[in-house]
Amino acid sequence: MNVFEHLQQHDYGEVHFARDAATGLQAIVAIHDTRLGPALGGCRFIHYPHEELALIDALRLARGMTYKAAITGIPHGGGKSVIIRPPRAFDRGALFRAFGRFVDGLGGRYITAEDSGTSMEDMETIRSVTKHVTGVKPEHGGSGDPSPYTALGVRRGIEACVKFVYKRDSIEGLHVAVQGVGHVGYWLCKQLHDLGAKLTVADIDPLKAERAHRELGAEVVPLDQIFSVDCEVFAPCALGSALNDDSIPKLKCKIVAGAANNQLAETRHGDALMHRGILYAPDYAINAGGLVNVAQEHAGYDEQKSRERVLKIYDTILEIAERAERAMQPTYRIADTIVEEKLARAAR
């Protein structure tokens, strides 16, 4: 594994590794950029077949957090952490306390939060050993589960896309296909359902898909069929790289707008979507609601102020779509340009 080659490829930055023999902790903290403030980003706790995949995941996600923070105007840089899930039995509390000590040793350069495989309870455990954590319980000055706010931002981004493509202010009656109905995907489906949208869903966990069917009337299809659903909006809300050489030709929609990180397997897939006449809402711009919400904790949490900032994702997505149309450029490139302009100004 050539670590420095990966760092150069993702324009880094710094990376920290930790191992704790007593708990089985193997963790990576990637700090991509701190020009706008301390790095903020979630902690992912999943199984990785080998260490290089864990590093690449951390690097890609942290870079996305830099761009996500910059495009929403919050005073933070981008960071991400991954804990490689131990293959054998382990003490979860001890493991996350060890991780919290690792984060604390970075002296505030990185602030952690909830992500795939972690929960608010894990953040509470981390909080017992460091103050550099967000997404804790409201009684401890936190904002709680960020998923509803991420979903709110995605829903507003979808509404902006619908306004741009269909010249409509309402999504009532529109068909949305949602890939992944976990924490964020479920909350997104609930909001879309309440606004009168028709839903088709798929999830690797049949119980989660069944919940969406039972509670929201969503049609359930197998995972390999969700890309082929004839709909207005396709919402990728599972893990990354959903938009690739295999899936893009199957799409039967005019809009791709969802909550997943790193939706494009490669940047050229953003060009492929544009060439097919599909409006793509750049992932880090549309799914920033959770980050916006937890970032408020360090300034003294104000729920109303947080909600107002999340709602502005509508304006961000609409601006990106309009600029992309004028420049005849893919939306991901326009979003990157907006961010790079902000980072350049911060570096002066």
Q: Write phi, then psi, for 133 (nearest 5 degrees).
A: -150, 145
Whole-number pLDDT of residue 228: 98
Give yes or no on whether 3-61+76-140 and 147-344 have one common fold: yes
Multiple choice CATH, 3-61+76-140, 3.40.50.10860, 1.20.140.10, 3.40.50.280, 3.40.50.300: 3.40.50.10860
Annotated binding-site residue? 181: yes
42-57 per-position pLDDT tens digit:
999 999 999 999 999 9
Q: Is 79 annotated as a binding residue?
A: no
Contact 254, 230 (CB under 8 A): no
Annotated ligand binding at 180? The verdict is: yes
* Greater model confidence, 316 or 144: 316
Q: Is 157 among the annotated ligand-binding positions?
A: no
Q: Does the annotation flag 141 for ligand binding?
A: no
The amino acid sitting at 253 is C
Under CATH, which number does the domain 147-344 receive? 3.40.50.720
pLDDT (0 to 100) of residue 142: 81
The arithmetic mean of pLDDT across residues 273-283, rounded, is 98
Helix (H, G, I), strand (E, B) or coil at 77: strand
Please give the share of the chain, as a percent, with pLDDT higher than 70. 99
Q: Is 40 helix (H, G, I), strand (E, B) or coil?
A: strand
The backbone torsions φ and ψ at residue 122, rounded to the nearest 5 degrees and listed phi first, read -65, -40
Q: Is 41 annotated as a binding residue?
A: no
Please write the tens of the pLDDT for every residue from 164-219: 999 999 999 999 999 999 989 999 999 999 999 999 999 999 999 999 999 999 99
Q: Please tell me the predicted confidence (pLDDT) of residue 299.
A: 67
Q: Which residues are catalytic?
A: 80
**pTM > 0.85:** yes
Domain boundaries, the chain: 3-61+76-140, 147-344
The structure tokens listed for 18 are: 């930790």
The residues facing 30 across adjacent strands are: 15, 80
pLDDT at 140 over 90: no
